[in-house]
Structure formats: structure tokens, C-alpha cells
Amino acid sequence: MKQDKKKDITDTAKDTIFTSVLDVGSEALADVAKESITSFLGEIIVDTGASLIPGLSGALSSYKRVRFEKNTKHFAEEIALRIDEIRLNLEKKTDDQKQQIDKLFEYIMDYVIDEQQEEKIKYIVNGFVRLTEHESITEDFVLTYYDVLKELRMVDISVLRLYYHSFHVLEEKETYRDVMEKHGITYHQYNSVRHNLLRLGIFTTKTDNKITDDLDSLFKAVKDIQSYLDKLSKNKSLPRLKQPKMLSKDSFELASFGKDFVKFFLEIDQQQ
């Protein structure tokens, strides 16, 4: 019985994978024990995903096949946890909108298959849930966001989350030292992560308002040097020159894109 239902869903899902799974599979899923829904979805996603995405054939190395099956299983588990939320979102969509979501789902499956760090899959799923909430979303938007997520490692996400949480009142806040200890990195490596987030447009820098003080300090230093040279030429007692201290610095902060990125992918951490 279960295999027949799975075959019906898989056959229907060849053209529209995800919304078909929900539409055709709603009755089937109702007959499946709650604890079996994840494995049931996993089988469907693996079967339909393998037929939809180029390269998932015998030509794949065994390593890539194992990673594909492992990632899609995890993906199915995360989808199963959010299935009611996704179904409610899709009930409000037109057929055209559902077709668009199906197409975007195929793109997202590419990212799932290629992902090296399995821990990131929950963020991939969270992004998919978010896009099902929108009335209209473009391919460029999805590809841009997921391309950036693909470039991030878990340590990048930890630093990003650290900065995001700094804007929220939490009973216990992580510190950069916590992040360094968790990932076993040095401060130099931590700083490199911040510069990587800056390169991706997630972070920006702002120079604080100490520049005026720095200019005053520089002018004073030049004046002291002039006085020093003047006294030197007259063989007078020489004062000790002080090295001017620069107080202004560039400080990292979340860019506007970074804030939107966090809400799209990582806000699940806030909920948890």
C-alpha cells in the first residue's frame, strides 16, 4: 500500500516535485504513522530529486552518492518538521505561484546536494519556508541568497549570529571568545571571518566619531615636532616627544543585506 502511494506521488512529482508531494500525498501521509512521515518524505525527495537534478546517475562517485543520500535524508527530516507550516503557506498560493515554488525547490535541491556541512541544511530549509510565505519571489533573489549561504561555513554563521544577537536583549549572550572556543580558532582567524563577511556584503564598517580627536592629536604632534626642531637649532633643553595615539577605528556591524539575510535563513535560532 505504502509503495503504491509513493509511486503515485513520485510519478506525479516528475513535473512539479514539491507541491505535488503535498497535494497528492496529503491523503497518503495521513495514512502513514507520524514517526514514519520523515522517512516517507525522504524516499520521495530522493527518488524525485535524483530524476530531476542532472548528474545524479551512475556517473556519480560513491562518495557523492553517499553525501547526496545523507543530505537529502537530513533535508527531508527538516522539511517534515515544518511540513504543516509549508502546507498552510501553499494553500494561499495560486497554481502559477505553486509552479514557481516547485522550480525554486529544484534549485534549492542543488544546494542541498552540494553542501559540505550537513549542519547548514536546517538553514537551507528555513530559507525555503520563508520563500513560501512570499506572494512573489524571483529566481535571482533566491540564487543570490543561496549563493551567499553556500559560501558561508558554520564558523561564519556563528560570528554572524553573534552580531545579530547583539541587537537583541537575551538573558545569556554569546561572546566572541565563546565562538573562538567553540570552533577552535584564534583571534586572527576570528577577524578573518569578519573580513569574509564584509567581502560578501553581510557586514559593513563604520568609522566611529573619534576622527576629529585624531586630527587634533596629529596637529599637536606636528606642532611639538616644530617646537622640538626649533629648540634643537638653538641648543636648548629638549622636551620628550610623545607619539600621537589614534583613537578612531573601523568597527564591524551588520549591513542591511546582512540583517535581511539573517531573517531569511537564521531566524530559526531566535525561535529556538
- Domains parsed from the chain with CATH numbers: 2-151 (no CATH), 156-206+250-271 (1.10.10)
Q: Which distant-in-sequence residues (6+ apart) come within 8 Å of 44 by Cβ?
A: 6, 9, 10, 13, 21, 25
**Position of cell 626642531?**
229
pLDDT at residue 257, as a whole number: 94
DSSP string, 90-144: HHTS-HHHHHHHHHHHHHHHHHHHH-S-GGGHHHHHHHHHHHHH-S---HHHHHH
Regions of the chain short of the pLDDT cut 70: 1-61, 167-172, 207-219, 221-250, 268-272
* Cα separation, 179 vs 181, whole angstroms: 5
- The whole-number pLDDT of residue 28 equals 47
Report the alpha-carbon distance of residue 25 to residue 36 in Å, rounded: 14
What CA–CA distance (Å, rounded) separates 79 from 73?
A: 10
Q: How far apart are CA 204 and CA 197, in angstroms?
A: 8
